Amino acid sequence: MLTSHQSLRKKPLSTGSLEPSAIAFDSRFQALDQGIIASLKAHYRRQWLAFMLNAFDNSEDPLKTINLHLALRWIIRSWYHDVSNTTIYNCFRKSTIIKNLIQLPLEHIPPLTDLYNQVQQHGRIHDAMDLSNFLNPAEETIQEGDIPSLKLFESDKVFAFLDINPLSRGHALVIPKFHGAKLTDIPDDQLSELLPVVKKIVNATGAENYNVLQNNGRIAHQEVDHVHFHMIPKPNVKEGLSVGWPQQKTNMDKLKELLAEVQAKM
């Protein structure tokens, strides 16, 4: 056996992993975080917008015609044909990995505003997320460490963290890792841990009075297009959630009709 092989055998290889907080802290030194990922995502989503626009023009539902094969094709095309060598070089230069610099022209991420507006108009989408959230969904930026988060709990399905703009002490959010804008977009198996985690946070914070809030849609006060549950302690009348309750008058006959209608669809 060669001596080099013998020396390798005498020095067993050890491995380790960085904590997520360390990775996020050092993201300025990671070339991918300096614009490569952003460029790839923008080019990929441009193809997704074009696909949606074409589907609406043909009276089709893009959410029913999209498939994994198309998504992979768009990612591969974006990486090999749209993300340029110049973009990659400039990002490595910003990360300080490259020491001997050369000057290359800057390349900008493709503008998507006009295409995004066309998709909204053709699809008659009145409750659409804004473009920045479409490009960088909140659940991605939080879980990837781009937005600081004070993590309380994490599992394969759920992520929970303290709200950085709390209504009261202990205000927390619990989100599914599966992306969906509204509750009905999340598969049942991905919802199974949400309320148990909310309950754990209630017990951990010692909240005696609290609200569990989950909004769906703009007019229902949803601002982030990813399902999330608020756990908001209500320690007194001034802190925590303040809500009105505009009750409507009805009668038993109408309620019975509604009961039958909803039961038939359950």
Active site residues: 228
Dig out the tokens for 130 from the structure: 């804004």
Tokens 């303290």 identify what position? 162
H helices present in 58-137, as ranges:
62-65, 68-77, 85-94, 113-122, 131-135
Cα–Cα separations (whole angstroms), residue 134 to 35, 55, 154: 17, 18, 24
Phi, psi of 230 (to 5 degrees): -95, 135
Dig out the tokens for 146 from the structure: 């781009």
HSE (CB half, 13 Å, CA atoms) of 116? 16
Tokens 């053709």 identify what position? 122
| Residue of 182, 71, 61 whose CA lies nearest to 124 | 61
Amino acid in the structure at residue 240:
G
- Measured CA to CA, the distance from residue 190 to residue 6 in angstroms comes to 50
- Measured CA to CA, the distance from residue 162 to residue 230 in angstroms comes to 10
Angle at 39 between CA 100 and CA 108, to 5 degrees: 75
HSE (CB half, 13 Å, CA atoms) of 235? 10
DSSP state of 130: P
- Measured CA to CA, the distance from residue 32 to residue 41 in angstroms comes to 12
